[in-house]
Amino acid sequence: MSNSEIQQRRLNATPRGVGVMCDFYAVKAENATLWDHEGREYIDFTAGIAVLNTGHRHPKVMAAVSEQLGSFTHTAFQVIPYENYIELAEQLNQRVPIEGQSKTTFFSSGAEAVENAVKIARAATGRPGVIAFSGAFHGRTLMTMTLTGKVTPYKTAFGPFPGSVFHARYPNALHGFSVDDALESLEMLFRCDISPQQVAAIIYEPIQGEGGFNIAPPEFVQALRALCDRHGIVMIADEIQTGFARTGRLFASEYYPEAKPDLITMAKSLGGGLPISAVGGKAELMDAPLPGGLGGTYAGNPLAIAASLAVLKVIDEEQLCARALKLGAELVETLNASGNPALVEVRARGSMVAAEFNDPTSGKPSPEIARDIQQRALAQGLILLTCGVHGNVIRFLYPLTIPDAQFRQALTLLTSLLRA
């Protein structure tokens, strides 16, 4: 069956609200390569939106899932527990950049992790308020959609939203928002909208994902930490897109050793392609909810737990943090050497890399230029994603296991696209 025939079936069977970027359909994937129904081959620079840092179907991840599949697939941990759930929690407790003793619990999606981090913070503080930032993305459930700092398409027509959620400015020097501006916006919230004594948590992304790969300046994160300490507010780092070697560290929060968060949300590449998420944090905070207050039918599914344990081994054995730094540096060099007049900034932490494009004549953000590059790349077999509040950013999320020759093939193609 052809891609176009399946495309018509999709349009007839699924709602328009599920936006789909590509008009072809995957039949097979291996590491950084995808094949469609018509046998065409693609280089995947999306990794399932940062889910596949260890690549499609990594052999060690597949072997771990297969072994677990031979034992059992589900019991619901809250009913009949299993040991590998505990083992994964132990491993993450040793690795998360949290001060003091940590505990971890598991869920199925990133949005669930964020929702439960908010629940934990509220239970621990007895306060209702939560502060997030402009340009943030935290999920598509009602609470996480409220926390998200971008209206279209995530919030359009879905209100009213839960109360006691407020947004401050996220620093973005390119767009004229300094660290001082961001901190002043927090103080304005405290003066005008909610007392800091009523705020349970401030949630931030060390690097904004959907917002455009905007990297939090160290002085901003340190100021957040000091502010949270001063007012007894729980500091939550959303590491759903930044985690598990993408930035050259297991967690992006490791770049801010003097400003460790209290809670960290995790998902995406933790499961190597299987749905799993987690909240890790200070033991006294994690223990605040009553027994039964946390959980979910599929939370910490044993197949996903097995995959996650294998992912952590692969990251260590294949030195993916170091590889993320190496590949990211090569990509940054390629982008900066392209000479594209619309390219106004390249941002990178390891292999979390973004290129932002403005119209060379007007100087205004140009989603059209970013989309044109994306579409021309797709026509030549390279799959890219856009992002950013203005939609003018291309983000690069290749598997960290991509073969060197294939990576350089993609960079050669990218160079030709940017110089065209």
Helix, strand, coil share (%) of the chain residues, nearest 5: 40, 20, 40
3-state secondary structure of 297: coil
pLDDT of residue 152: 87
pLDDT of residue 1: 77
Question: Helices in 253-389 by DSSP H: which ranges?
Answer: 283-286, 302-317, 320-336, 367-379
- The b-or-e profile of 32-47 (16+ CB within 10 A means b, else e) is bbbebbeeeebbbbbb
Tell me the per-residue pLDDT of 41-58, one tens digit each, with 9 for 90 and over. 999 999 999 999 999 999
Domains present along the chain, CATH in parentheses: 3-57+319-419 (3.90.1150.10), 62-317 (3.40.640.10)
Per-10-residue mean pLDDT for the chain, 420 residues long? 89 92 94 96 97 98 98 98 98 98 98 98 98 96 95 90 96 95 98 98 97 97 98 98 98 98 98 98 98 96 98 98 98 97 98 98 97 97 96 98 98 94
pLDDT of residue 420: 77
pLDDT of residue 386: 97
pLDDT of residue 170: 97
- What pTM, to 2 d.p., does this model score? 0.96
CA dihedral of 206, 210, 214, 218, whole degrees rounded to 10: -10
In contact, 393 and 355? CB cutoff 8 Å: yes
